Amino acid sequence: MEAREKNSILVTGGRGFIGRALVKLIQRKGYSVVSLDRVPVADAAETGGEEIHLDLTDVAQLRGVLEHQRIRKIVHLAAILPTAAQRNPVRATEVNVQGSLHLLELAREFNVRRFVFGSSLSVYGTYPADQTVSEDDRAAPEDLYGAAKLYVEQLGQSYRECHGLEFVSLRVGRVVGPGAQSVSSPWRSEIFELLKADYRAEISLPYRASENLLLLHVEDLAVMLLSLVQASSLTYTVYNAPCKSVVVEDLKRVVENLNANITVRLGDGTPAGNPQMLDASRFQSEFHFESVSIFDRLRKAAGK
């Protein structure tokens, strides 16, 4: 293996669904990683990396990490998620906006080279179902979570222009895969975790059969984030993460066909607050990336 620089990659939200997948991938590639999360870890040996229990709103503790660690690149994933943000807007603003500002300012102060921000397709808001959305289309978030993501993108652009910090944002769709532990959208994990069930199980998918969902497997997302970390240079400051557009009816059919014990119950909702069709050619062409089909991922998880 080629020699790596001794500096570490800092991952915020490292105990989260996406963070865990990214930290494991970084370690497999031979890099040193420091994982921050407000969720404590019982045993640091669990991941093999350095885990720090920390809240982003604690500036003094955050500063201590950058003082004692040689951090050259940051992947910022920590956030209060949409449902929780609506319930507690004060806490969401403290973490999603103020915490991000603390991190950007410390990145400037400690000469961090690159700052990769895990943004969201929710910055776009709702678009007509047949309109393909690119990075050049207008951003009009409809909730606190999306508004905070867009504001942090603007903050990052300012730090890039004023201080030379290599800020880059990856706008992410609905992330699926085993282990998501989502309270508001448990189906994102259940469609994978229940595929080998030998008992009757029901999955509730709250959308109409005809709706399109932009889905992204967590392992593909980890590869995308690491690509942004590793790149010698970046052409753009904002990228749409390549997602697979999946028709809800097709998703229901594939899951039920893979395991006759599973019934997928559909609702009458629409995927508001996000586009349903996406142009991710900017990322795909620059990084020569093509994600694996969600249906192929499901077949593999089912052992077929």
Q: Which residues are catalytic?
A: 145
Strand, coil or helix: what is 114?
strand
Strand, coil or helix: what is 187?
helix
State both tokens at 29.
């590639």
- One-letter amino acid at 64 equals G
Q: What Rg value do the Cα atoms of the chain yield, rounded?
A: 19
* Dihedral of alpha carbons 55, 154, 239, 84, sign: positive
Measuring CA to CA, which residue among 281, 285, 279, 253 is closest to residue 266? 253
Tokens 């050049």 found at? 136
Burial of 144 (0-12, 13-18, 19+ CB in 10 A): buried
CB atoms within 10 A of CB 49: 20
Tokens 């990683």 found at? 33
DSSP of 210-266:
T-EEEEEEHHHHHHHHHHHHH-S--S-SEEEPP-EEEEHHHHHHHHHHH-TTEEEEE
Measuring CA to CA, which residue among 64, 66, 94, 68 is closest to residue 79? 94
